Structure 1
Amino acid sequence: MKKAYLLLADGTLFEGYSVGYEGQSIGEVVFNTGMAGYQEVLTDPSYYGQVVTMTYPLIGNYGINFEDYESRKSWVSGFIMREIAEHPSNWRCRLTLDEYLKEQKVVGLAGIDTRRLTRKLRGEGVMNGVIYTEGFEPDEQTVAAMKAYVVKDAVRAVTCEESRTYPAEGEQKYRIALYDYGVKYNIERELQKRGCEVVTIPALTPPEEVVGRFDGVMLSNGPGDPAENVEIIANLKRLLESNIPIFGICLGHQLLSLAIGAETCKLKYGHRGVNHPVKDLDADRTYITSQNHGYAVVGESVNPAIARVRYVNLNDGTVEGVEHVGRPVFTVQYHPEVCPGPMDTSYLFDKFIENIEKAKGGAQ
C-alpha cells in the first residue's frame, strides 16, 4: 500500500495511504458533512477544482452504481477520507470506490485524521492544497502554483457544449429551458416527473433564443465565483425583462441575485452537507436542506424594491433564497432536488410549475 499526502498552503502535511488514481493534483480543500452520498459528491460539477474531504469516517461502504451519477464524470480534484471500505455491500454495487477513482483518474487519500483537517478548515477557512501519491512529490514550482491557485472559468469548464432534450414522463405539459452552469441530473429528473420536456442549454445561450420558445427557465447549480460570470449576469438581466417564470438553484440563485443588483461574498468554509437548517420567513417554518456552495448573497445588498429575502440559514444567518417582487421569479441557495438527502423542499418544483400555469393563464 503506497503512502499518500496532503500538503496545505500553510505548510501543514497530512500523511496517509493512496486510494484511487496515483499522481498529484492541486485544488481548494473543502469538507462535506454528509454521512452518505459520496457518489453524488464525486459527480457534482459544483465541486470542480476542489479537493473534497468527507467528514464521515467510513466511505465507500455501498460502492458505486450506474444509476446515481449526477453528471457524466467526476469533477473533484481530489478525494479524502478517514477509511475506505474495501468490500462494499449493496445489491446495486457495480464498482468499488477505489475502482471508480482509478477509472476517473481522481487522486485519493485515506488514513488521515479527517477530524483534525476539518477543524483546521473550520477555524482558518478553506485553503489550497496539493494531494499526491508517494513518488509524485511536489517541487517548489508546484508548491508555488498550489499557493496561487484560484478556481477560474469554472462554469465554462463544466457546461454542456450543445443543448440536450429530455422528454417528459407521461403527458408533456410544459417545456423548460434549463441553463447548464454545472447541472445535476436530478434537477432534470424532478422536472420530467412533473410533465416537463427539459432542454438543457449551454450557460452562455442568449436569452433571445429562450424567450417565446419555453414556458419557464431553470438556472442550475454550478462551481466557482458567481461574480466572475459577467456575460451570464448580463444575459439574465435581459431575461428578467421578459417576465418568463424563473427558478434558480445554488449558483443560479447567486447569478440571478447579481443580475438584480445584489452582491456576493466568499464564505469562510462554505456549506457542504445534507443537514443545514433553513427557515422560510413567510411560512415561519424550518427545513433541513442539502447544500454545496462556498459563496453567498449579501442580504443587505438585496434591494427590497426589486426582491426580498425569503429564506435564511439558521446556523449563520446567510441568505438562502430570494423572491422577486411582482415577477414569477424565485431562487434558493440549497438543493431541493437532492438525492440522497432530505426531501423536505422538493415542493419548490411544484411552486415553479404553479408559476408557469399562472403565467400561461394570464397570457390567454
Structure 2
Amino acid sequence: MQVLIIDNYDSFVFNIKQVVEKLGHSARLIENDRLVDADLRSADRVIVSPGPGNPLNEKDRGLTDRILRIGESKVLGICFGHQLLGMMLGCKIRIANQIRHGEIDRIRHGSSPLYLGVPETFEAVRYHSLVIEANDRIIVDASSLTDGSIMGFHTPDMMVYGIQYH
C-alpha cells in the first residue's frame, strides 16, 4: 500500500513514517506547500501530519485543502491534521477550554474501525490549543474523559478520519 504523508512542518512526521513502514507499507513524505493533485491520486491512503499553527490560517495549511476535493483515498488527520480536516468538513475551530501541551489524558472511543483492538479507554498525549466542534458531517468517535473535547471523528462514508492526540 502506498501511503502519502503530508508534512505540516512538524518533526513528529518522521515517527508516523517509521510506523507506516514498520507495518509493511510504502511511505512518501511531501511538504504541505509542495502538494500536487498527482500526489493525491497516486496514494492509496493519505495521512495529514501534526504541525504548528492554525488551520484557519491559509499559510499554515499550505495546499492541503486539495485532499477532499480529489477525494480518491482514505485520509487520516493527526492533531493539526485532525483540526484541518474538521474545518474542511465545516466544523468550527475554537480555542480549547483547557490548553494541553504534552499532557497525558484519558480518551474514550466508540466502535469505529479505526479503534479495532484498542481498549475502550486509553491514554494518549495531547499537544494542542485548538479543538473542533461537531457538526452533521462527522461522527464523533472519541472524546476526552477530562474535558469532553472531540478526540476522534470519521465521516459517514468512512473516507476521512481525524484524531486530535498523538
Q: How many angstroms apart in 1 are the aligned matches of 2:150 and 2:98?
A: 16
What's the Cα RMSD here?
2.0
Asked if the contact 2:109/2:141 (under 8 Å) is kept, the reply is yes
Mark the runs of 5 or more structure 1 residues left unpaired by the alignment: 1-173, 336-364
Q: Distance in 2 between matches of 1:217 and 1:233?
A: 11
Query: Is 1:196 aligned with 2:25?
Result: yes
Cα pair 1:180 1:201 within 8 Å, conserved? yes
How much identity, in percent, do the aligned residues show?
A: 22
- Name the SS of the counterpart of 1:256 in structure 2: helix
Whether the aligned pair in 2 keeps the contact of 1:236 and 1:259 (CA below 8 Å) is: no
2:7 paired residue number: 180
Aligned counterparts, 1:1-364, within 5 A: 174-183=1-10, 184=12, 185-229=14-58, 232=63, 234-239=65-70, 241-242=71-72, 244-282=73-111, 285-299=120-134, 302-303=135-136, 306-335=137-166
State the 1:234 CA deviation: 3.2
Q: Which structure has the larger Rg?
A: 1
What's the CA shift string for 1:260-289, capped at 9, x where partnerless?
111110124411235201110337811111
Flag the structure with higher strand content.
2
Distance in 2, matches of 1:187 and 1:274, equals 19
CA separation in 2, counterparts of 1:206 and 1:188? 17
Q: Is the 1:207–1:236 contact (alpha carbons within 8 Å) kept by the matching residues of 2?
A: no
Q: Check whether the contact 2:109–2:142 (CA below 8 A) recurs between aligned residues.
A: yes
Give the stretch that moved more between structures: 272-281 or 286-295. Answer: 272-281
Q: 1:266–1:294: 8 Å Cα contact kept in structure 2? A: yes
Where do 5+ consecutive residues of structure 2 fail to align?
A: 113-118
Q: CA deviation at 1:227?
A: 1.1
Deviation beyond 3 Å, 4+ runs, structure 1 = 230-234
- Tell me the CA shift for residue 310 of structure 1: 0.8
- Change in CA separation of 1:298 and 1:233 when aligned onto 2, cut-off 3 Å: farther
More relative contact order, 1 or 2 (CA 8 Å, 6+ apart) = 2
Give the letter aligned to residue 328 of structure 1: M
Question: How many residue pairs end up in the alignment?
Answer: 156
Q: Secondary structure at the match of 1:237?
A: helix
CA distance in 2 between partners of 1:286 and 1:222 (Å) = 26
3-state secondary structure, aligned to 2:56: helix
- Normalization by structure 1: what TM-score? 0.40
User: 1:145-176 CA deviation, whole Å, 9 max, x = no partner?
Assistant: xxxxxxxxxxxxxxxxxxxxxxxxxxxxx221
TM-score (norm 2): 0.84
Kindly indicate whether the alpha-carbon contact (under 8 Å) linking 2:37 and 2:66 is maintained by their aligned counterparts in 1: no
Q: Could you tell me whether the CA contact under 8 Å between 1:233 and 1:256 is conserved in 2?
A: no
1:86 maps to which residue?
Answer: none
